[in-house]
Structure 1
């Protein structure tokens, strides 16, 4: 199927609209970056998860924290739960797909840690189960999701909802991930 110039133009218009509406969210993302720097700098960890493209975004975030975003700095504890394929497939086989992130959250999460969940729909049962488990443990749950209201937003302590088509939601989540890394690095800079 060929993409018409109209489809490309519509996609760009959706993205520009979403970027304009994103402005008020910058305060939340900056606060998350500073808070995450304090928690990880104090020995805490970030657990992150998503499904499909959102899994890639979550893994991008953890890679930036363990490695580096721009400038060289210390490594921080950040784990992409979906990246452990052996655990993920074993849990899915033994407990069901809805438990793949909740079980890992139970294993790796501690009170005061942060669980970051990414979902374009905000309706993934396995992310909602992980949010419930994290809150039971005493972790904070931050989410990037699509349009509100949605079940993931309701299960989270804080959420940044993007009101846009699914592809644009994922693009805005990448913007938020990069802004979070900028704020994190600024907070840990000597």
Structure 2
């Protein structure tokens, strides 16, 4: 028997469905581009540097784990690092340089032009993520943003924004997990041919 407590669930599920339809209608061509960027990076002996805050930090770690381990298909591990996991680096950089530098400092230390920076931000305006993308741009790395709402400042800073155009942080994060799984599915089934750098 339906009660008033069903309403929040129905409302959330309706919003989730609308966001899913938006992903299916608007983002599929961009998802294909993202797969091409990831494949090119890995075939050029690059690595993925992935980051975000809060729930997006967990999603960054999830993405890295699926690549280093596997999503579904058996394959070799792929080089991906979540910049959210080293508490000593995060606290040292945060203490010495400020929280806005916790990712930028790692990008400056670890990134090379053949690498790919992947950022997750439901608002598109996280200061430490924005700083990291600016650093990546200076190095010459390409970047993908899994974003929400209108994409925020990151929409124009990353090379490829995958933006879920809803206001609900929870629903954006749900769609980001879906996007991560779609990317992993495609990468799992790619036959990599590593190219030697000259």
Q: TM-score range by the shorter chain?
A: over 0.9
Residue number in structure 2 paired with 1:113: 115
Q: Distance in 2 between matches of 1:162 and 1:124?
A: 16
Q: 2:124 pairs with 114, 122, 128, which one?
A: 122
Q: Distance in 1 between matches of 2:44 and 2:38?
A: 10
Mapped pair 1:6 → 2:7: yes
Q: 1:34 touches 1:184 (CA, 8 Å); kept in 2?
A: no
Secondary structure, counterpart of 1:13 in structure 2? helix
Residue 34 of structure 1, CA deviation: 3.2
Residue 188 of structure 1, CA deviation: 2.8
Q: Equivalences for 1:62-141 in 2 at 5 Å?
A: 62-141=64-143
Residue 4 of structure 1, CA deviation: 2.4
CA gap of 1:43–1:114, structure 2 versus 1, over 3 A, is same
Mapped pair 1:185 → 2:192: no
Unaligned runs of 5+ in 2: 194-198
Q: Distance in 1 between matches of 2:151 and 2:64?
A: 27
Q: 1:41 touches 1:76 (CA, 8 Å); kept in 2?
A: no
Q: Distance in 2 between matches of 1:106 and 1:135?
A: 10
Q: Distance in 2 between matches of 1:35 and 1:118?
A: 16
Cα deviation code 1:57-79 (max 9, x no counterpart): 11111111101010110111100
Residue number in structure 2 paired with 1:174: 177
TM-score by length of 2: 0.91
Cα deviation code 1:70-90 (max 9, x no counterpart): 011011110000111111111
Secondary structure, counterpart of 1:117 in structure 2? strand
Residue 26 of structure 1, CA deviation: 1.7
Segment of structure 1 superposing worse, 31-40 or 145-154: 31-40
Unaligned runs of 5+ in 1: none
Residue number in structure 1 paired with 2:44: 42
Q: Distance in 1 between matches of 2:151 and 2:31?
A: 19
Residue 189 of structure 1, CA deviation: 6.7
Work out which of the two has the higher radius of gyration on C-alpha atoms and give 1 or 2: 2
Cα deviation code 1:13-50 (max 9, x no counterpart): 00000111111212211231233123213310000000
Residue 149 of structure 1, CA deviation: 4.5
Q: Distance in 2 between matches of 1:140 and 1:63?
A: 21
TM-score by length of 1: 0.94
Secondary structure, counterpart of 1:82 in structure 2? coil
